[in-house]
Amino acid sequence: MPEQSPAVTYANYLKLEELLALQQPRSSGPEHDEMLFIIIHQVYELWFKELLHELDRAKALLEKDESHRAQHTLKRILTILKVMVAQLDILETMTPLEFLSFRQRLEAASGFQSDQFRQVEFVLGLKSEGAIQRFPEGGRARTALERRLHESTLWDAFLQYLSREGYRPGDLQLTLINIYKNDPKNAELCERLVDLDEGIQEWRYRHMKMVERTIGARPGTGGSAGAAYLRETVGRPPIFPDLWAIRSQL
Ligand code: HEM
């Protein structure tokens, strides 16, 4: 007789025992707020994982010309992004002194080293070889980033989809203006991409303000100038510049 596997329960399906053992404060005591700090970062990493899962899906649907379903997936991505931005409110209940009580325990660790955040940037077209070198060769993070460096981006998938919709390569911005004026279905898709772009910018801005109020002008644990570096990332060009450039001509 084959051995019977145990019945599925809430706890074993979700691997609750493992999950709940993963929050391990480094401060002795431990400092009360370090639990929040760990949990919120872990939750963000899970949302990054889900975002990547959905971004890959949106790309695959565009590649199959299933634009309606791609839009549906983009809507889900945007809803997740909104939740991610809103979660920063929780961290803002932590005062600078509460954070300083355990900050030195983080040593050089920083969200700057989140490979999944870089993966999201890569899928969206913000690729950088430099970002890859920071991760150990052969490891999960490095392998995933190397793969995404060579993979097509969401924008590539969108442009190829447009060409199959009959839009011939030419002046891209003129094509986009034409879509906005005469092709409501694809104009909607463009709008979802603008939403996505704005959502990422919103996250960068809110994270930067949260950092400013928590550590002021101190440098970051990751070795950057801190809020000054983050302000520079907020000021960078948008992800889909063509969709912004045409707006004064619509
Ligand atoms: C008290 C809370 C936080 C503080 C003080 C903080 C501070 C910083 C600072 C100073 C940087 C710049 C790099 C460095 O020198 O370290 C940074 C980058 C970053 N942080 Fe945070 N952070 C906080 C919470 C979070 C959370 C909850 C996340 C979610 C995952 C996060 C994700 C990131 C990411 C992805 C970057 C890289 C941004 C980029 O390079 O564009 N941070 N953070």
For 189-205, how does the pLDDT look when each residue is reduced to its tens digit (9 = 90+)? 999 999 999 999 999 99
In the predicted structure, residue 169 carries a pLDDT above the cut 90: no
In angstroms, what is the span from residue 110 Cα to ligand 1's centroid? 6
CA-nearest residue for atom 35, ligand 1, is: 111
Mean pLDDT of all residues in the chain? Answer: 96
CA-nearest residue for atom 32, ligand 1, is: 111
Cα 187 to the center of its chain, rounded Å? 24
User: Is 37 buried (19+), middle (13-18) or exposed (0-12) by CB count in 10 A?
Assistant: buried
Q: Under 8 Å CB-to-CB from 191, ≥6 apart: which residues? A: none
In angstroms, what is the span from residue 233 Cα to ligand 1's centroid? 12
- Asked whether 190 and 245 are in contact (CB, 8 A), the reply is no
Beta carbons within 10 angstroms of residue 184's beta carbon: 10
pLDDT at 62: 98
pLDDT at 69: 98
Ligand 1: which of 214, 230, 231, 236 to mutate, judged by most atoms within 8 Å of the beta carbon?
A: 230
Please name the residue that has the structure tokens 């447009």. Answer: 162
> Cβ < 6 Å from ligand 1: which residues?
40-41, 44, 91, 99, 110-112, 114, 117, 207, 211, 214-215, 220-224, 226, 229-230, 233
User: Is 10 buried (19+), middle (13-18) or exposed (0-12) by CB count in 10 A?
Assistant: exposed
Percent of the chain with pLDDT over 90: 95
Which atom of ligand 1 is least distant from the CA of 230? 12
* Structure token pair of residue 114: 């989140």
CA-nearest residue for atom 42, ligand 1, is: 111
pLDDT at 1: 63
